């Protein structure tokens, strides 16, 4: 995957205000197609729609009622369709040990909340580019 083919982003976030800001940041500023679900449970209930959408990257809020971000990641990884889809957590929990724990779960990185809407798309691209560099180098 190169920057040029990062087109579709799945975002699982329970806060409507954050969803709205992220949608504008990713669609209007970043030019991405975005599909948003309100919780991990909501996303898992719409797995067929998500498979059809075929996201290039998945953004997960960490703290959500019901199925939280780490549980959602675990459930998605059990689906062969998403076994290798890059995942980035978005959370206010960014202490070094917390970030290390999220990466150990399989996340590429963590984007701190609150995030800068104007740089969100570039941050995602940079995380993915760094990951690709690690894989190829």
- pLDDT per residue, tens digit, the chain (137 aa), is 444 578 999 999 999 999 999 999 999 999 999 999 999 999 999 999 999 999 999 999 999 999 999 999 999 999 999 999 999 999 999 999 999 999 999 999 999 999 999 999 999 999 999 988 888 77
Predicted structure pTM score: 0.94
CATH of domain 3-136: 3.40.50.2300
Find tokens 């549980």 and name the residue. Answer: 71
Q: Please say whether the beta carbons of 87 and 57 come within 8 A.
A: yes
- Domain parsing of the chain, residue ranges: 3-136
Q: List, edge to edge, every strand of the sheet that includes 57-61.
A: 33-37, 8-12, 57-61, 87-91, 109-112
In this prediction, residue 3 carries a pLDDT of 44
């Amino acid at each position: 995957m190169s920057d040029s083919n990062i087109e579709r982003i799945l975002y699982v976030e329970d806060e409507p205000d954050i969803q709205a800001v992220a949608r504008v940041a990713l669609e209007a500023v970043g030019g991405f197609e975005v599909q948003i679900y309100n919780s991990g449970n909501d996303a898992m209930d719409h797995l067929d729609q998500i498979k059809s959408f075929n996201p290039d990257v998945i953004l997960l809020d960490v703290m959500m009622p019901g199925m939280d971000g780490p549980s959602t990641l675990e459930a998605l990884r059990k689906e062969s369709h998403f076994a290798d889809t890059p995942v980035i957590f978005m959370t206010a929990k960014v202490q070094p040990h917390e970030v290390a724990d999220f990466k150990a779960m399989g996340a590429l990185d963590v984007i701190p909340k609150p995030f800068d809407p104007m740089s969100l798309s570039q941050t995602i691209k940079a995380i993915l580019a760094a990951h690709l560099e690690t894989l190829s180098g």
